[in-house]
Amino acid sequence: MKSILISVPAYNEEPNIYPLYKSLLKVIDPLKEKYRFEILFINDGSSDNTVDTVKQLINETDIVSLIDLSRNYGKEIAMAAGFDYSDHDAVITIDADLQHPPTLIPEMINLWELGYEDVYAKRKKRHGESTFKKFTSKLFYKVLQHVSDTPVNADAGDFRLLDKKVVSALQLLRESQRYTKGLYNWVGFKKVAIEFDAAERLFGETKWSFKSLFRLAMEGITSYTTAPLKISMYFGFVASLVAFIYMIYVLIKTLAFGSDTSGFPTIIIVMLFLGGCQLISIGILGEYLGRIFTETKNRPLYFKEEVISKTVKKDDASYKN
Ligand code: UDP
Ligand code: MG
């Protein structure tokens, strides 16, 4: 019997735990004969009663497990904890807020059985999101698409079924500043998309502030490609070329017609403009340098407060409870 892990990162999702469990149960119940399911909640340092709710659920059923992380690490790391935990034949990652419809799971499993190793759900429409968020997210994908070598799937979220092969690959990628959507593409494997209508989250509010989305977007670009470094270099070339041509022009003009000392505003403008460009370039450099700094520390991605699991894990001693 094949085993499937449903991995749910949860940060302050207390009211959503039971509804999610119920609707998951509805879709996996008819498949119980063929697959062994395990639902893993990864508590990402919630400040509400998410942990207690999951523990209560664990007492009532035997297919639920819990990883309680030592603090809030962010969704990307929480998902990594789910991948690390898995020794299943497939992993399905799904949000806790029911924005990802569990009804899609049977179709995902069918496609997996057909040989696809990364079945990802693509949003058709975005309900309950501001035009500003839609616009910025579209813009981000456009930019990322343009500057990177590996393709990016716009609107493809983290609702996915991943074959064991993909999960083992992801387990090897230990960067601490993670942009998981980029990692899926980087590791490759046979991909297929299915479409769905994203619903509004059931309870609570999105954890993404504009600031954290901006940070994720920066992470996406800087972890995915070194194009910004090249762009600032190209810009440097163009600026010097223009300056050089202008210099020759001024030289000839001065030799032929003599010099007049006007042009002060032009000098100031050019100085400010180029100074700004230099600062931006240094900033970009610093961004990459900072990433190197963080990654060379080589810290573990996360620490676990507690793991409650009925399936004993093979290798990792810390997973035996
Ligand atoms: N999440 C998490 N850690 C965080 C932020 C979010 O584990 O620091 C989880 C959250 O509980 C949810 C999923 O990631 O299951 C998606 O979060 P959210 O709904 O806030 O994002 P959105 O759907 O608005 O992109
Ligand atoms: Mg959500």
User: pTM of this prediction?
Assistant: 0.75
Taking the CA of residue 13 as reference, the ligand 1 atom at the shortest distance is 11
Identify whether 18 is part of a domain.
Answer: yes
CB atoms within 10 A of CB 310: 12
Tokens 């509804």 correspond to what residue?
Answer: 19
Q: Provide the residue range defining the domain that includes 97.
A: 2-216+300-318
- So what's the pLDDT on residue 154? 60
The rounded Å distance from CA 99 to ligand 2 centre is 6
Mean pLDDT check: name the lowest of 31-40, 46-55, 239-248. 239-248
94 Cα–ligand 1 center, Å? 10
292 and 266 inside one domain? yes
**C-alpha distances out from residue 256 to 226, 250, 251, 253, 263, Å:** 46, 10, 9, 5, 18
> Do 118 and 207 fall into the same domain?
yes
For residues 252 and 130, state if they share a domain: no
Residue indicated by tokens 């991909």: 191
CA of 75 to the centre of ligand 2 (A): 11
Residue 163, phi-psi category: left (phi > 0), alpha (psi -120 to 50), beta (remainder): beta
CA distance 195 to 122: 5
Examine the domain organization and report whether 257 and 311 are in the same domain: no
* Atom number of ligand 1 nearest to Cα 201: 19
Could you tell me if 207 and 236 lie in one domain? no
CA–centroid distance, 133 to ligand 2, in Å, is: 13
**CATH assignment at residue 97:** 3.90.550.10
Residue 222 lies in a domain: no
Which residues does ligand 1 sit against, CB inside 6 Å?
Answer: 9-11, 13, 44, 72, 74-75, 78, 95-97, 99, 201, 206-208
The residue ranking higher by pLDDT, 217 or 186, is 186
Average pLDDT over residues 178-193: 85
Ligand nearest to the CA of 212: 1
Give pLDDT, residue 306: 87
In a domain, residue 171? The reply is yes
Q: Quick one: 71 and 195 in the same domain?
A: yes
154 CA → ligand 1 middle, Å: 18
Mean pLDDT score, 12-20: 91
pLDDT value of position 321: 41
Ligand 1 atom, smallest distance to 208 CA? 20
Structural contact between residues 320 and 312, judged by C-beta atoms closer than 8 angstroms:
yes
Using 50, 70 and 90 to split pLDDT, how confident is the model at 153? low
Ligand 2 centroid from CA 120, angstroms: 16
Note the ligand closest to the C-alpha atom of 77: 1
Q: Is 196 found in the same domain as 136? A: yes
- Shared domain for 290 and 254, answered yes or no, is yes
Tell me the CA–centroid distance for residue 186 and ligand 2, in Å.
24
Q: Whose CA is nearest to atom 2 of ligand 1?
A: 75
255 and 208 both lie in a single domain: no
79 and 134 inside one domain: yes
- As a whole number of angstroms, the distance between CA 306 and CA 308 comes to 7
For the record, the structure tokens of 9 come out as 């990162």
Residue 59 lies in a domain: yes
Q: Which of 278, 189, 265, 267 is nearest to 239 (CA)?
A: 278
Instruction: State how many domains the chain has.
Output: 2
Phi and psi, residue 34, nearest 5°: -95, -30
Same domain for 99 and 13: yes
Q: Which residue has a Cα nearest atom 14 of ligand 1?
A: 75
- Residue percentage of the chain with pLDDT more than 90: 34
Question: Of 84, 83, 8, 78, which Cα lies nearest the Cα of 39?
Answer: 8
Alpha helices in 65-209 (DSSP H): 75-85, 105-113, 131-147, 164-172, 180-187
The CB density around residue 11, as the number of other CB atoms within 10 Å, is 22
Statement to judge: residues 202 and 237 lie in one domain: no
Ligand 1: residue of 16, 97, 126 to mutate (most ligand atoms within 8 A of CB) is: 97
- The verdict on residue 221 lying in a domain is no
In a domain? residue 189: yes
- Own/partner pairs, 182-185, CB within 8 angstroms, 24+ separation: 182/150, 182/152, 182/220, 182/223, 182/224, 184/118, 184/120, 184/160, 185/150, 185/151, 185/152, 185/153
Closest residue CA from atom 16 of ligand 1? 95
Q: Which ligand is nearest to the CA of 13?
A: 1
